[in-house]
Structure 1
Amino acid sequence: MSANQTSRTGQRTRPITLLSLGHACVDVYQGAVAALVPFFVSERSYSYAAASGIVLAASLLSSVVQPLFGALTDKWAMPWLLPVSTLVGGVGVSLAGVSDSYALTLAAVAISGIGIAAYHPEAARVARVASRGSHTAMGWFSLGGNLGFAAAPLLVSAVIATYGLRASPLLVVPALAGTALCVAALRGSATTGMKGTKAPAAATADARASRVVGRDDWASFIKLSGAIACRSIVFVGLSAFISLHVRQRTGGGEVSGMAALFVLYLGGAVGTVAGGKFATRHGRIPVVQWSYALTVLAVAGVVFVPGPLLYVFVALTSAGLYVPFSLHITLGQDYLPQRVGTAGGVTLGLTVSIGGIATPLIGALADAASLRTALAPLIALPAVGWLLLRTLKEPEMPDVLRSASARGAAR
C-alpha cells in the first residue's frame, strides 16, 4: 500500500475512531449508575426499590429528552452537543455519592441522564454517514459505547470500593477525556473533509441530504422500537440487579457480583462487532431475530442456574442482547430515512431508557418476594420482541449511503 493510500485510509477511519472513543467515555456513565447500586445498598442501606429508583432517575428524563434532541438535530446542526453533553453526563454521576440526601442523589444521576440523552442522536447520525453505510463500521462505533459500559464496573469498583461513595468526584475523569476527544473530532472536520472523507461537520450535511431519499416506514419502525423496548427492560433490569443476584446464587462476595456485571457488559463488545459482520453476510433482520430467540434461553439460565455455570449464561445473555445493538440503530434510520435524528433518538434513547422505568417494579417485587422471582418475568420479554420482529422486512439503504458505501469498497 502506498503512502497516499495509507493516508486516505487513515482519513476515512479517523472520524469513526474518534467517535467510538468518545462514545466509550459517555457510556461509562450509563454503566456506572448500575455499578453504583450495590454500594448504595451496602453503604446507605437502601432497599431494592430505593436503589432501583436511582436507575429510574437516570433513565426517566433521558427517555423523554433524547427523542427531543433527535428532532432538534434533524433540523439544525448541533455539533457542540457532543463535548458539552459528554461533560454533563460525567459531572452528574461524579456528584451522585457526594451527598447523603436521596433527593440530591436522584437529581445528580438525572442530570447525567440528560447529558447522555443529548449526546446520542447527533453522534449516531454522524457515525452512520461517516461509516459510509457499513454495518461493520457502525458496529465499531457501538463497540465504543459497549466498552464504556464494560469499563464502568471496574472504574466504580476501583474508586468506590477503595474510598467509598464520597470519592465519586473522581469518576469525572472519563468525561474530561471524552470532551477532549469530541473537540478533536470537531476541529479535525475542517481538514479531513477536503479529500472526499467526511468528518463530523461534513457528515452532518450528507445526513440531511440522505433524508430526502425514501419514504418513512412508521409501521416497521414502531415494531422495531417495541422489540428494542423489550430488550431494554431485560438489559437494564439485569444491569441493576445482576451483581446482587449472582452473589446470592454463588455465595460469593462483592467481587463475584462485579465480575458478573463486567461479563454482562464485556460480552457486548464482542457481540456488537460480530453483529455487524453477521449482518453483512446474512442480513440484519435474520440476525436480529435469532439474537432475540437466543436471549430467551440465556436469561432463563441466568435466573435459574446456580453456581459458577451462571457466568456462562450471563455471557450468552450479553451476546444475545448486544449482537443486534448496532443493527437496531441502522434499521431504525433506514425505516425513517427522512428523520434519522428522530430515529436515533428513539432507538438509542426512548426505547433503551424505558428499561429504567420498569426497574423499580422489579425492585418492588424483589422486596415483596425474592430477587430471583422478580427477575423471572424478564425471560418472556425477548420472546415478545421476537414476535414483533417476525414480520419485519429489510429496508432499503438510502441512495446517498449506498453510493458512499460503494465508493468506500472500491477504494
Structure 2
Amino acid sequence: MTDIERRAAAPDPTRPDLDSLPLADAGASMWQRMRLWGIAHAVDDLYQGLVPASVPYFVLDRHYGYVAASGLTLAATLGSSVPQPFLGVLVDRVRWGWLPAAGVALAGLGLGLSGLFHPYPVVWALILLSGLGVAVFHPAAGKAAREAAGDSAGAMGVFAAGGSVGFFLAPVLATPALVAWGVGATALFIPPAVLIAYVLHRNRHRHRALASAAPLRTGTDRWAPFLVLTGIEVVRSTVFFGVNTFIELYWIRHLHASRAVAGTALACFLGGGVLGTLLGGRIADRIGMVRTVQLGAVLAVPMLAGLRFLPGTLAPLLFAGLAGAALNIPFAVLVKLGQDYLPNRPGTAAGVTLGLAVSIGGLIAPAFGVLAESRGPQGVLTLLCAIPLAALGLGVLLREPEQ
C-alpha cells in the first residue's frame, strides 16, 4: 500500500467516530444530550396539554355537546395511556431508533389537523392518533434518555421536566391563538412536531452509538416493588389531573375570582410542577430515590391543604405553585426507580411510569366531575388533600434498588 493509500484509509482525526465513541466523551456531553431529550419530551407532551386547552373551542366553533367534548378528551387519554405498556415491551425486544421521531410527528400531525375538519368521527380519530403518537414516543424516548443519563437522577429530571414544560406551555400558547383564529389554529402547532422529529431522526445513529458505549445494565427484575411504585404513580397522577381540571373552576366559582386570576392559579400549579420535577432529581442524587418519593408525598398534603383552605384569591396562589412542586418532586425519580427495579425491561418500565400510570388520572377525572356536580370544585379539592396519604403509605414499602 502506498503512502497516499494509507492516508486515505486512515480515519480523519477531525471527525468523531460515533460507532466507537469513548465513554469519557459520552459523559462530557451528557447534559447536552439530556437537553435534547428534554426539549423533545416538552414538544411531545405539548400535544397532550393542547387537547384540554382546545376542547372548549371545539364546543364553541363546532357546536359539540359536553358529551362529545368529553369524548375528545377520552380519545386522547385512551390513545396515549393504554398502548404504552405494550409498546414498552416492544421497545425492549427491538431497537428501532426512529420510534421517538415517529411518535412526536404523529402526535403533532394528529392534533394539528384535528381543528381543520368538521365531522366529529374524523376529529375524534385524529385526536386518538395524536394520543397514539404520544404513546409511541414515551417508552422509546424514556429508554434512550436513561441510557444518556446513566445513574444520575438529576439528568433524568431534565428529561422528565420536559414533559411538565410541555403541559405548562400548552394553555399559554394555545389560548391566544384559539381566541384569535378559532379551533383551526391547531394547525399552527404542526411545525414544532415536524422540526423535533427531524432532529431526532438525524441524531438516531449517534444515540445508537452512545447506547452501545454505555455499560449494560443487568440484574433481576423485581416486580413486587415495581407494582408498588406504579400504585404511587397512579395516586400522584390522580391528584395532578384532579387539581389541573378543577383549579380554575375553584377560583372562579368558589373564590369568585376573575378568569385572569384563575388562569394564573393554573399557571402557578403547572409552573410549580416544572420546578418540582427538576428539584426532585437533584434531591434524589443527595438523599436517595425512595426518600425523595416519600418526601413528595409528605409535602403534598399540607401544600394542597393550603391551596384549598387559605382564604382570599391571591394568597392561595403561592400554595398552588407549592402543591404543583410537591406533586412533581417524585416524577423523574419514579421513572428512574422503575427502570432500576426492571433493569432488563427499561422500555416496559418507561411505558408504565411515563404512560399508563401518568395518564390514568385522566381516566379517573370524570369521577371527580360527579363529585363536583354535588359538592362543587371545592369538594373535589378537599378530597384531593387526603389522597396523597395513600402514596405515603405505599412509599413505606419501597426500598432502594440493589446496585
Q: TM-score, normalised by structure 1?
A: 0.85
Q: Distance in 2 between matches of 1:48 and 1:303?
A: 27
Q: Distance in 1 between matches of 2:278 and 2:125?
A: 35
1:295 maps to what in 2? 300
Alignment counterpart, residue 324 of structure 2, candidates 291, 304, 318: 318
1:222 Cα deviation (Å)?
0.5
1:245–1:57: structure 2 CA closer, same or farther, 3 Å change rule?
farther
- 1:268 equivalent to 2:273? Answer yes
1:68–1:7: structure 2 CA closer, same or farther, 3 Å change rule?
closer
Over the matched positions of the two proteins, sequence identity in percent amounts to: 38
Q: Distance in 1 between matches of 2:244 and 2:44?
A: 17
1:404 maps to what in 2? none
1:347 maps to what in 2? 353
Unaligned runs of 5+ in 1: 190-199, 398-411
- 1:371 equivalent to 2:377? Answer yes
Q: Do the aligned residues in 2 keep the contact of 1:288 with 1:324 (CA within 8 Å)? A: yes
- 1:307 equivalent to 2:313? Answer yes
1:108–1:9: structure 2 CA closer, same or farther, 3 Å change rule?
same
Alignment counterpart, residue 201 of structure 1, candidates 201, 205, 208: 208
2:72 maps to what in 1? 54
Q: Distance in 2 between matches of 1:45 and 1:314?
A: 33
Worse-superposed segment, 97-106 or 290-299: 97-106
Amino acid aligned to 1:336: L
2:290 maps to what in 1? 285
SS at match of 2:105: helix
Alignment counterpart, residue 168 of structure 1, candidates 186, 192, 204: 186
Q: Distance in 1 between matches of 2:80 and 2:214?
A: 24
Worse-superposed segment, 145-154 or 49-58: 49-58
Q: Distance in 2 between matches of 1:279 and 1:375?
A: 28
Q: Distance in 2 between matches of 1:360 and 1:103?
A: 22
Q: Do the aligned residues in 2 keep the contact of 1:49 with 1:367 (CA within 8 Å)? A: no
1:263 Cα deviation (Å)?
1.8
1:113 maps to what in 2? 131
Q: Do the aligned residues in 2 keep the contact of 1:142 with 1:272 (CA within 8 Å)? A: yes
Q: Distance in 1 between matches of 2:317 and 2:398?
A: 33
Q: Do the aligned residues in 2 keep the contact of 1:121 with 1:341 (CA within 8 Å)? A: yes
Q: Do the aligned residues in 2 keep the contact of 1:125 with 1:204 (CA within 8 Å)? A: no
Q: Do the aligned residues in 1 keep the contact of 2:299 with 2:326 (CA within 8 Å)? A: yes
Aligned residue pairs, count: 382
1:14 maps to what in 2? 32
* Structure having the higher Rg: 2
1:61 Cα deviation (Å)?
2.8
Amino acid aligned to 2:126: A
1:13–1:235: structure 2 CA closer, same or farther, 3 Å change rule?
same
Unaligned runs of 5+ in 2: 1-15, 17-23
Q: Do the aligned residues in 2 keep the contact of 1:74 with 1:208 (CA within 8 Å)? A: no
Q: Distance in 2 between matches of 1:349 and 1:203?
A: 25
SS at match of 2:83: helix
Q: Distance in 2 between matches of 1:260 and 1:106?
A: 30
1:362 maps to what in 2? 368
2:115 maps to what in 1? 97
1:53–1:321: structure 2 CA closer, same or farther, 3 Å change rule?
farther
Q: Do the aligned residues in 1 keep the contact of 2:304 with 2:319 (CA within 8 Å)? A: yes
SS at match of 1:370: helix
